[in-house]
Structure 1
């Protein structure tokens, strides 16, 4: 038997809480990844969710690396940093919702500003299916082909088992933020 790491404990709590929201039909789990990077000796857990009947997706990402594992298991410390996990939340929306980026950022600052920093990105499609291009070569997409609008929240501090009681309120804020982003027109 082994002693689970901070990462393992947090992953189980987040996963269970997100599946509870799925069971209650408040969110729908649409993707799950549990990744191990053997080259960097790092782990990453991702769960993607969306609101029913919505084009707004959120991906919760939990990360931990070798320094955190060594710090936890062997009490190795670097620069007085305690071991833990990094947490990120990415919201993906239709591109047209980027027109409300300033209002979205105000909302994010009210809800998440003390604990996370945000970044807004807009992608566009420049080339539509190059494989289907005719003998005349590649075709540049019309500017009307939408991309997507992505908002990334990166939490300023690592989290650990002391933050397990914060998972439920954090996910309630996630649901409320998704509702705000979906209703914004």
Structure 2
């Protein structure tokens, strides 16, 4: 019988948790993508959502789960050395449409540090039309963990979704 990889188990459990929250009306799933790169033997799953009542084009949260060839081979080879690679990368990000003011960037960074901790790498990227005169911009904020997530930590991903929802609530207060 086929034994699913850590990537597949983490993806299925996380997807189920997010869709349960969507069905309960807590959040609204906006988009979902499931990629397989046959040239590099890698997989990537992405799901985005927002809180019920929020405008999806103004504020959303995205979870990425990725596993490459080294992660798959580590599980299939089952050597002691390979076990440290038998997991996947999880990245959290937020898409925000807000005023083009430095104070907003600083408050978003501070708010996410309060929720996710100072150990996380938080990177903000702004997208704007340099020739436009709009007072608002779209930014992308990524929260990285700089480590693999293993199957044993699968329960932590539900807590991660809670943090994502708390982050949406905090960001909403900042950008209003």
TM-score (norm 2): 0.88
Match of 2:168 in 1: 178
Q: Which runs of 5+ in 1 are unaligned?
A: 127-140
Instruction: Tell me the SS of whatever aligns to 1:172.
Output: helix
Counterparts of residues 21-100 of structure 1 (less than 5 Å): 21-54=21-54, 55-75=58-78, 81-96=84-99, 99-100=103-104
* Counterpart contact for 1:95–1:122, Cα < 8 Å: no
User: What's the CA shift for 1:90?
Assistant: 1.2
Task: Count how many residue pairs are aligned between Structure 1 and Structure 2.
Answer: 171
User: What's the CA shift for 1:56?
Assistant: 0.9
26-35 or 68-77, which deviates more:
68-77
**Cα distance per residue 1:11-42 (max 9 Å; x no partner):** 00110000011011111001111100111110
Whole-Å Cα distance in 2 between the matches of residues 105 and 177 of structure 1?
11
* Counterpart contact for 1:97–1:149, Cα < 8 Å: no
Whole-Å Cα distance in 1 between the matches of residues 169 and 133 of structure 2?
28
**Cα distance per residue 1:85-114 (max 9 Å; x no partner):** 001111001131764221221222222125
Whether 1:110 and 2:100 are equivalent positions in the alignment is no
* Counterpart contact for 2:71–2:88, Cα < 8 Å: yes
Alpha carbon RMSD of aligned pairs, Å? 2.1
Counterparts of residues 79-158 of structure 1 (less than 5 Å): 81-96=84-99, 99-113=103-117, 116-126=120-130, 141-144=131-134, 146-158=136-148
Q: Which runs of 5+ in 2 are unaligned?
A: none
Distance 1:17 1:79, change over 3 A: closer
Distance 1:97 1:30, change over 3 A: farther
Distance 1:65 1:178, change over 3 A: same
Distance 1:13 1:64, change over 3 A: same
Instruction: Tell me the SS of whatever aligns to 2:45.
Output: strand
* Displacement over 6 Å in runs of 4+: 77-80
* Counterpart contact for 1:46–1:61, Cα < 8 Å: yes
TM-score (norm 1): 0.84
**Cα distance per residue 1:31-86 (max 9 Å; x no partner):** 11110011111000000101123221111000000000000111357788432100
Structure with greater strand share of residues:
2
